[in-house]
Amino acid sequence: MIKRGENKIKTLIVTGGSSGIGKEFIRQYLNINKNLWVINLSRSKPENLEVFYKFTHLEADFSSPESAKIASFALLDLLKSEHSKGEVMLVNNSGIGSVGGFVDLPVERELEIVDINIKAPMILVSTLYPFLRKHGGSIVNISSTASYQPTPGFSTYGASKAFLTSWSLALWKELAKDRISVVTVCPGPTSTAFFDNAGMKGRKDKVRHMTVEKTVEKTIEAVIKGSPLVICGFTNRIIASIAGILPNTWITRIAEIAIRSQKLNESN
């Protein structure tokens, strides 16, 4: 359990804070600091959160790189005008996926995965870097255990998360000199709306998953301790370790079998 006063973050920026992991980040950080300034970037505003001191919602459509750029500069202007002191945390949480063979899916949807899962975090980090360097703080990138192996039937999503994990860990070393910590979070299947959005409506109850509460709690602990990587769940840590040892072709076959066993590529 994270206690109040254990963190120096004064402004929390979350992408996709209207549901799932992003919304839980807001809830848990407000338990640490009720005076936190929360900035949410997503298409819709979070609902049913307890009353807090300061909240700003910036509408952002990360499926469009141009929209992402506009939102990132609007965010920077807002921070320059209203953030006075204290550290800043950026949580790149927005992400989407789709299930099925790549050639069977609309390429426009697959390109949106690249825009949201890869381009949007890059745009935000690039835009906010000077501000983060000045004030100090953290970048939290929500990746996935899917980043540790190719994922047939889930190919673009897994590849996008592989990029995000590699990029985030490289940033961890590059930005250490600037007092900016970077934490890469790799949850396994988590109880969020992701399954429905990926075209697997009704499947999330048939997949073993962690709760968003536990995922966020482990992430906040990592931020406070300065840990650069969080792989949520003992089994997922074992799988990630094995994936780094076995040949890629073996891991790809194993992943295909695992995905098929969950029947993720079947509709109800």
Is 266 among the domain residues? no
Q: What is the pLDDT of residues 80-128, one digit of tens each?
A: 999 988 999 999 999 999 999 999 999 999 999 999 999 999 999 999 9
For the chain, the residue count is 268
Residues spanned by the domain of 192: 9-261
Query: Which pLDDT score is estimated for 263?
Result: 53
Q: Is the pLDDT of residue 202 over 70?
A: no
Is 268 among the domain residues? no
Is 136 among the domain residues? yes
Is 167 among the domain residues? yes
For the whole model, what pTM was predicted? 0.86
Query: Which pLDDT score is estimated for 47?
Result: 74
Q: Is the pLDDT of residue 246 over 90?
A: no
Is 2 among the domain residues? no
Query: Which pLDDT score is estimated for 211?
Result: 87
Q: What is the pLDDT of residues 205-228, one digit of tens each?
A: 444 567 899 999 999 999 889 899
Is 190 among the domain residues? yes
Is 3 among the domain residues? no
Strand runs (DSSP E) across 123-166, as ranges?
137-142
Query: Residue 37 phi/psi, 5° resolution?
Result: -90, 120
| CA-closest candidate to residue 3, choices 220, 216, 182, 214 | 220
Query: Which pLDDT score is estimated for 19?
Result: 87
Instruction: Please compute the mean of the pLDDT values over residues 219-245 and round it to a whole number.
Output: 83
**Edge-to-edge strand order for the sheet containing 137-142?**
54-59, 37-42, 9-15, 87-92, 137-142, 180-186, 229-231
Average pLDDT, whole number, for the chain?
85
Number of domains the chain contains: 1
Query: Which pLDDT score is estimated for 49?
Result: 61
Is 99 among the domain residues? yes
Query: Which pLDDT score is estimated for 248?
Result: 82
* CATH number, domain with residue 217: 3.40.50.720
| CA-closest candidate to residue 93, choices 25, 162, 167 | 25
Q: Is the pLDDT of residue 50 over 50?
A: yes
Query: Which pLDDT score is estimated for 84?
Result: 83
Instruction: Please compute the mean of the pLDDT values over residues 248-256 and round it to a whole number.
Output: 81
Please give the Cα distance from 73 to 131 (Å, whole number).
Answer: 12
